[in-house]
């Protein structure tokens, strides 16, 4: 399949090049030249398939002849050796739990697929790919474990010292030998600034092949469509003739874009609720057609604190820059911190289900959508993007209950931390990267 840039001034590329480059040379994001469609017959065959069956069916339409089918099948099975439960917490209301991967966050779905695709393509060229990532927590964790042990790749993670949770830091600093953690004496903005400097350093480009692993990479976006397809086919069996609404906690809007991609492929999805916090630039766009990003506002749903979402350009592309057309399939709803905390509490009191703050935003938005559109949103699916243990303080405040650390995390918590402390000046990062091959 061919991919081209949303900015439309770069040459079209293969999936291999789109994966290894991440961002197009003109600064745009790669999108497929044509979204593949599943016929009714294909969907019928997939309806009783496993998650991995569905993931493979989607992946091969995008990878085409670039990855042998037996290799692609093996890659999928290595990626998704964990469950994706669809838990009913009320009549026709489901939570799709996307936190059963190794780092307890939905980013495992994209990072593990991206890691293996990057490794495969790099091995074809017999070259070493250096993945450089700035992180405030979950992205770095998912990338660390997604690329752990992948041949022809190495990962350098920059995270702000003292500004991530202990659990997140353990995940960042205890992965495999091809993952290097740099503890930066500064904040997340310093980490991002250093990474950007490295990518435009002409001398560094001569010695290293650098790429990124954030949500702009097409090989992180495609696998996020897998769990929409999986849930929609399960619900099609249970609620024949009804199309589910998916409520998506939204920050950079990659997750929502992947859902739109799944719907365009023909999977039975009715509507999307784009659930935002106070950072509501897309919500306002859906109301009035004007995209006016504002400075990021800090909230309790930190992963959604994005003032200018990077994947919005893909949404614009898919809807032909027509906000009215986008609004027929997507409803934007903004949720306050007070409403988020109250939702965590009310859901727990009603059915004993503990949800993290981001999931609570999605749940509140789905209920608001249903209230405003009688009979709509049934069945409804809330994407649960993180295990509640990752936000234990918010959970304790809301319901006065501690979240036990999952058994698989206790072993990670006991591992020795391996990180290199660096300042927030570029010289130290540059020196570290240049010494990787020595």
- Which CATH number fits the domain that encloses residue 142? 3.40.50.1100
State CA 106 to chain mean position distance. Answer: 6
Residue 158 lies in a domain: yes
Residue 164's pLDDT is 83
Residue 424's pLDDT is 94
Domain count, the chain: 1
Angle between helices 392-399 and 337-351 (to 10 degrees): 70
CB 381 within 8 A of CB 86: yes
Residue 426 lies in a domain: yes
The length of the chain, given as a count of residues:
438
State CA 280 to chain mean position distance. Answer: 19
- First-to-last alpha carbon distance for the chain, in angstroms, is 38
d(CA 405, CA 388): 10
**pTM, entire model:** 0.93
Residue 136's pLDDT is 76
Residue 275 lies in a domain: no
d(CA 93, CA 89): 6
Largest interatomic CA distance in the chain: 64
d(CA 272, CA 176): 38
Q: Could you tell me the sign of the dihedral formed by the alpha carbons of 143, 146, 148, 153, in that order? A: negative
CB 105 within 8 A of CB 390: yes
Residue 60 lies in a domain: no
Residue 172 lies in a domain: yes
Residues of the chain below pLDDT 50 = none
Residue 215's pLDDT is 78
Residue 352 lies in a domain: no
Residue 145's pLDDT is 92
CB 119 within 8 A of CB 152: yes
Cα–Cα–Cα angle for 82, 84, 90, rounded to 5 degrees: 145
Residue 208 lies in a domain: yes
Residue 48's pLDDT is 92
Residue 334 lies in a domain: no
Instruction: Supply the range of the domain harboring residue 171.
Output: 108-218+411-434
Residue 91's pLDDT is 86
């Amino acid at each position: 399949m061919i991919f081209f840039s949303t900015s439309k001034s770069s040459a079209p590329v293969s999936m291999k090049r789109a994966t290894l480059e991440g961002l197009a040379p003109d600064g745009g994001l790669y999108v497929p030249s044509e979204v593949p469609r599943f016929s009714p017959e294909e969907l019928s065959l997939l309806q009783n398939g496993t998650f991995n069956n569905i993931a493979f069916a989607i992946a091969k339409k995008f990878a085409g002849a670039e990855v042998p089918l037996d290799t692609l099948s093996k890659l999928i099975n290595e990626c998704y050796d964990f469950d994706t439960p669809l838990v009913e917490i009320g009549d026709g209301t489901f939570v799709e739990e996307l936190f059963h991967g190794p780092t307890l966050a939905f980013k495992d779905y994209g990072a593990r697929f991206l890691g293996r695709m990057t490794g495969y393509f790099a091995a074809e060229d017999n070259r070493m790919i250096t993945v450089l990532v700035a992180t405030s927590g979950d992205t770095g964790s998912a990338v660390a474990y997604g690329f752990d042990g992948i041949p022809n790749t190495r990962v350098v993670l920059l995270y702000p010292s003292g500004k991530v949770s202990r659990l997140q830091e353990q995940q960042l600093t205890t992965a495999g030998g091809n993952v290097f953690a740099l503890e930066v004496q500064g904040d997340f903005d310093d980490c991002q600034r250093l990474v950007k400097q490295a990518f435009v350093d002409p001398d560094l480009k001569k010695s290293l092949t650098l790429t990124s692993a954030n949500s702009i990479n097409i090989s992180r976006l495609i696998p996020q469509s897998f769990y929409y397809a999986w849930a929609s086919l399960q619900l099609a069996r249970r609620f024949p003739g009804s199309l589910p609404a998916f409520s998506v906690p939204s920050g950079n809007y990659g997750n929502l874009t992947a859902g739109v991609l799944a719907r365009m492929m023909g999977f039975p999805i009715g509507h999307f609720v784009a659930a935002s916090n106070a950072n509501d630039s897309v919500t306002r766009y859906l109301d009035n057609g004007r995209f006016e990003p504002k400075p990021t506002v800090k909230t309790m749903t930190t992963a959604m604190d994005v003032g200018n979402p990077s994947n919005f350009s893909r949404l614009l592309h898919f809807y032909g820059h027509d906000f009215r057309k986008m609004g027929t399939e997507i409803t934007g709803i903004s949720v306050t911190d007070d409403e988020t905390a109250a939702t965590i509490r009310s859901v727990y009191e009603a059915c004993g289900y503990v949800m993290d703050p981001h999931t609570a935003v999605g749940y509140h938005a789905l209920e608001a959508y249903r209230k405003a559109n009688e009979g709509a949103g049934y069945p409804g699916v809330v994407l649960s993007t993180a295990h509640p243990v990752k936000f234990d303080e918010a959970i304790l405040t809301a319901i006065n209950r501690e979240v036990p650390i999952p058994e698989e995390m206790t072993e990670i918590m006991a591992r020795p931390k391996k990180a290199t402390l660096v300042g927030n000046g570029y010289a130290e990062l540059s020196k570290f990267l240049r010494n990787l091959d020595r």
